[in-house]
Structure 1
Amino acid sequence: MKTLLSQLAKFGVVGIVATIIDFGIMNLLHYGAHLDILFANTAGFVVSLIFNYVASMKFVFEHKDGMSRRREFIIFVVLSVIGLILNDGIVLALNKGLSIEANVAKIAATALVMIYNFVTRKILLDGTSSQ
């Protein structure tokens, strides 16, 4: 249990930094450059994804024995693309569908996708046993 709690804490720190990157880029592009929310949200998500992969696989999850780094990265990207679809769908539904401000919509999307991310990465990418 102690290992899982430590892992959750590290995941949280990596997630906070990734979220700052994600929000920063989205706000810069949407409010600063006046680009469409979908483009701005996707760009922020993609840049934060790259940071998140590097940091997650270095500090949060252990490499699975027998899994190549290439396969690990592909699985991470596939899970993240699913997360991006969920994230964009939630942001669009809340922002354009319900007229909720973009940052509030993004907070809701981020919270829901964070749960999805941890669970799927823990199951498919982590080389440690659940403790």
Structure 2
Amino acid sequence: MKTLLAQLAKFGVVGVIATVIDFGVMNLLHYGLHLDILIANTAGFIISLVFNYAASMKFVFEHRDGMSRTREFTIFLILSVIGLLLNDGIVLILNKGVALEANIAKIAATALVMIYNFVTRKIFLDGTGA
């Protein structure tokens, strides 16, 4: 149980940094450059994804024996694309459908996708077992 709690704490730290990157890019592009929210949100998500992969696989999850780094990254990428679709869908519905401010919509999307990310990465990528 302590190992899982330590892993969750590391996941949280990596997640906070990735979230700052994600929000920073989204706000710069949406409010600074006046790009559409969907484009800005997607760009922020993708840039933070690169950081998140490197940090998650170095500090949070252990490399699974017998899995190549190429396969590991491919699984991470597939799970992340699903996460991106969930994130974009939630932001789009809340921002354009319900008229919530972009950052409020992004907070809701981030919270929901964070749960999805931890669970799916733990199942598919972690070499320590469930």
- Deviations 1:37-75 (Å, cap 9, x if unpaired)? 000000000000000000000000000000000000000
Q: CA deviation at 1:129?
A: 2.5
Question: Quick one: distance in 2 between partners of 1:30 and 1:63?
Answer: 36
What corresponds to 1:16 in structure 2?
Answer: 16
Q: How many correspondences in the alignment?
A: 130
Runs of 4+ more than 4 Å apart: none
Is 1:49 aligned with 2:49?
yes
Question: Quick one: distance in 1 between partners of 2:123 and 2:29?
Answer: 34
Q: Which has the higher contact order (CA 8 A, sep 6+)?
A: 1
**Residue identity opposite 2:5 in structure 1:** L
How is 1:108-119 mapped onto 2 (pairs within 5 angstroms)? 108-119=108-119
Cα RMSD (Å): 0.4
What corresponds to 2:102 in structure 1?
Answer: 102
* Contact in 1 for aligned 2:123/2:129 (Cα 8 Å): no
Matched position secondary structure for 2:115: helix
Question: Quick one: distance in 1 between partners of 2:129 and 2:82?
Answer: 25
What corresponds to 1:30 in structure 2?
Answer: 30
**Residue identity opposite 1:15 in structure 2:** G
Question: Quick one: distance in 2 between partners of 1:101 and 1:42?
Answer: 17
Provide TM-score, normalisation by structure 2.
0.99
What corresponds to 1:125 in structure 2?
Answer: 125
* Contact in 1 for aligned 2:57/2:63 (Cα 8 Å): yes
What corresponds to 2:71 in structure 1?
Answer: 71
Provide TM-score, normalisation by structure 1.
0.99
How is 1:83-102 mapped onto 2 (pairs within 5 angstroms)? 83-102=83-102
Question: Quick one: distance in 2 between partners of 1:103 and 1:71?
Answer: 34
Question: Quick one: distance in 1 between partners of 2:77 and 2:23?
Answer: 20
